[in-house]
Structure 1
Amino acid sequence: MNLLNQSLGIHEQALQLKARRLEVLAQNIANADTPHYKARDIDFRAVLNASRQADTAMNATRTGHYDAGQALSPDGLRFRTPFNTSFDGNTVEMSVEQAQYGKAAADYQATLQFLENRISGIRKALKGE
């Protein structure tokens, strides 16, 4: 099983994170008319960097020691800064959200296709083709 995990690399984790981002963007679109709703997004790069650094993170040896760096929220959610403010306090901009959703969906499909090709190659190697 370790061989399979090594061959897929970080792409499995990236696929899960991209799926979560699609959910967050869909929530933004669904709440476009909700007063005082704040649009959110996932900082994909920061979450992946945090997961990579978790393996090499420095641990405090005493309780009085400080943690290194700023902690990222576990889910990586950030509030989006709007280009145009709304009168009701809603920060969802449909054109931005739809564009981000389309781009995120294409990224998800590309990662999924990459994983399918990688698994297909592994399957061929195991069959001896």
Structure 2
Amino acid sequence: MNFFSGTIHSLEQAVNRTALQQKMISHNIANTDTPGYKAKGISFKEALDSEQTKFEAIRTDARHLSFGRGHEAYNVIQKTGSAYQANGNNVDIDKEMSELAENQIYYNAVIERLGSKFNSLKTVIKGGNG
């Protein structure tokens, strides 16, 4: 059962990440023509690096999972230092649309995998009788 719960938790975190990414991309697209608007995105790496420096863990067996697994943290960042329009707006609509499509494909894959895990769990609960 631990296999299922760990995998399902990881997939849940992936769904949360894609939902936040979708929100940021949609917000950027909605503000394409807003003067002075700076595009936003999410950054996971900086939050992870920051948190990992605070903890130390010792794995006593190679089969143990890495420390900190499942602690997802995202920072909303503002993309500065560029302006694609004369009004100071830096939303690149082509880039945002590309990221939107990529995020949607990733989301669909994660949801499909999550559904598969729940179907497997349902089969186990029913005793393999489908």
The two structures have a TM-score, normalised by structure 2, of 0.71
Q: 1:28 to 1:47 in 2, by over 3 A?
A: same
Three-state SS of the structure 2 residue aligned to 1:128 is coil
RMSD across aligned positions (CA): 3.0
2:24 maps to 1:17: no
Structure 2 regions of 5+ residues with no counterpart?
57-72
Relative distance call for 1:50 and 1:118 in structure 2 (3 A) is farther
Aligned equivalent of 2:37? 37
Change (3 A) 1:51 1:6: farther
Aligned-partner Cα distance in 2 for 1:98–1:31: 13
Mean Cα deviation higher: 23-32 or 85-94: 85-94
The gaps in structure 1 that reach 5 residues or longer are: 59-73
- Partners of 2:46 and 2:11 lie apart in 1 by 13
2:108 is aligned to: 109
Matched letter for residue 93 of structure 2: M
Number of aligned positions between the proteins = 112
Residue 6 (structure 1) shift: 2.5
Cα distance change on mapping 1:110 and 1:81 into 2, 3 Å: farther
Q: Map of 1:69-84 to 2, 5 A cutoff?
A: 75-80=74-79
Q: Is the 8 A contact 2:41 2:77 kept in 1?
A: yes
Residue pairs, 1:36-75, within 5 angstroms: 36-44=36-44, 46=45, 49=48, 53=52, 57-58=55-56, 75=74
Deviation at 1:83, TM superposition (A): 7.2
**1:51-107: CA deviations, max 9, x gaps?**
9849x825xxxxxxxxxxxxxxx6421233687622110000111110010101111
Q: What's the CA shift for 1:48?
A: 8.0
Q: 1:115 to 1:48 in 2, by over 3 A?
A: farther
Deviation at 1:7, TM superposition (A): 4.0
